[in-house]
Amino acid sequence: MSMDMGASERVLASFERFLRERKLAGDRQLPYLVGWVKGFLELGRRNGEPASDETLLAYLRHLNGMNRYKEWQLQQAEDAVKIYLHQFRDSDECSGETKKVKHREKSVALRDAIPTMENAMRLRHYAPRTVKTYRNWALRFLDYRTESGLTKSVEAQDVKSFLTHLAVRGRVSASTQNQAFNAILFLCRYVLRVPLDEMDKTVRAKRKRRLPTVLSTEEVKQLLNAVEPKYGLMVKLIYGSGVRLMELVQIRIKDFDFEGHLLFVRGGKGDKDRTTLLPVSLNDELHEHLTTVRRWHEEDLARGLGEAPLPEALGRKYPNAGRDWGWQYAFPADKVGVDPSDGKLRRYHVYHQTVRAAVQRAARKTDIPKHVTPHALRHYAASLIMPTVLAARRSSAINIGGSLGLAVVRCGIIRGSPERPRVRRRDGSVLA
């Protein structure tokens, strides 16, 4: 449920006072932060959606699709809305109108269940993106029950009704439906303690096998040449090393091993670490790029900034580690931004959606009639590049990860240990 125009103006005035009193923004930044939140609230009012992290994602996609905002502006918009959602709305400065709207958006059960659900997922070390996604699905499920007039305790039939609503009215894909069910199953099993019997085996949608988009060699050349210079190195690294987009933007300086030609991926898919190839052809370009990043870092340090966000509780254990050169992001954002968790100014990594948009713009420019995303370059590497490269590096202990690793295993390329490769003869004996 969204707020009306009058309530929105009063909330924005309170939000501006909150920013000024907490000193979260300077006088020059204030109008822009308030403006981003105003656009966020207007989008929610037009779509009839409550202010939430899920609505924030839709708002950022809306801004990115307009193709007129720079990367730092998108980061500023995200920071402003996060401050509004997670600091302002829970503060004493929050106006009565916002309190009423917030109360209408959440029932007593939701207020009790959602924080407990988040804590239960963090206790099990779920990825932050998974926590956010499950939280949004739980909110949608509880809002659906409220809109449908279901006031009794949650039952298995409520879950079936919601999934049917998603499939029939929402026309979601099978993977989205299963994701929603997994979130609700977690909510019911570990938070609400509602038995769903055999629902986890009976209502899952069957995912259809789809062929990935694989580009030809000529299409890859055209795409790499058409990408804007600002994003060219990042796209080449995705293509040359086979990393995922989110893995790319989260790479730190310490993750490069130029002597061993390796790239370390920390906390990748499934929260697993692995190593992959670092293309030798990108060494000079990477060194030049990192020299620029080092200059930015030294300028930030001179201004009393230069602190990168650290994973989990590492910042408490090593308070000054965030200022070390090795912990800085290899592909940082152009501007420093406000950390919604504590209000400090930090330089985050480049916003991943801008890299995705750059690849799509390059695909349109080259008239490639395929669904081109950064992930398509991983498919190309899996089908053509990686088997050839790894055959020449038979003795290297490299895990490409995901579908690429599967492609390598199917080719039977990596065997034995990195110190002493094991080669098996046709008769089954091992060649020393």
pTM given for the model: 0.61
Banded pLDDT at 350 (limits 50, 70, 90):
very high
Asked, colleague to colleague, whether 108-202 and 217-387 share their fold, the answer is: no
At 139 the pLDDT is: 87
Q: How far is CA 358 from each of CA 23, 230, 261, 355, 390, rounded to the nearest angstrom?
A: 35, 9, 27, 5, 29
At 198 the pLDDT is: 62
Residue 395 has pLDDT above 60, yes or no: no
- Residues contacting residue 262 through CB under 8 Å, at least 6 positions apart: 275, 276, 277, 278, 398
Lowest mean pLDDT among 278-287, 293-302, 348-357, 413-422: 413-422
Mean pLDDT of 260-278: 89
Strands 423-424 and 337-338: unpaired
At 299 the pLDDT is: 93
Residue 146 has pLDDT above 90, yes or no: no
- Percent helix, strand, coil in the chain, to 5, is 60, 5, 35
The whole-chain average pLDDT of the chain stands at 79
What is d(CA 223, CA 211) in angstroms, rounded to the nearest whole number?
21
| All structural domains of the chain with their residue ranges | 5-105, 108-202, 217-387
What is d(CA 355, CA 99) in angstroms, rounded to the nearest whole number?
38
What is d(CA 429, CA 39) in angstroms, rounded to the nearest whole number?
69
Pick the CATH number of 108-202 from 1.10.150.130, 3.30.470.20, 3.90.1150.10, 1.10.10.10: 1.10.150.130
* Alpha carbon distance, N-terminus to C-terminus of the chain: 71
Banded pLDDT at 353 (limits 50, 70, 90):
very high
What is d(CA 90, CA 84) in angstroms, rounded to the nearest whole number?
9
Residue 419 has pLDDT above 50, yes or no: no
Note the pLDDT tens digit of each residue in 200-212.
Answer: 555 666 777 778 8
Pick the CATH number of 5-105 from 1.10.3470, 1.10.3710, 1.10.150, 1.10.10: 1.10.150
Among 56-70, 237-251, 341-355, the range with the most confident prediction by mean pLDDT is 237-251
Q: Which runs of consecutive H residues, i.e. helices, occur in 66-198?
A: 71-83, 96-105, 108-123, 128-147, 156-165, 174-186
Banded pLDDT at 225 (limits 50, 70, 90):
very high
Per-position b or e across 412-424, b if 16+ CB within 10 A of its CB: ebbeeeeeeeeee
Enclosing H/E stretch for 262: strand 262-265
Mean pLDDT of 11-36: 85
| 184 or 211, higher pLDDT | 184
Note the pLDDT tens digit of each residue in 354-385.
Answer: 999 999 999 999 999 999 999 988 877 666 55
CATH 3.90.550 assigned to domain 217-387? The reply is no
- Residues contacting residue 161 through CB under 8 Å, at least 6 positions apart: 148
Tell me if 164 sits within 8 A of 144, measured CB to CB.
Answer: no
Tell me if 333 sits within 8 A of 351, measured CB to CB.
Answer: yes
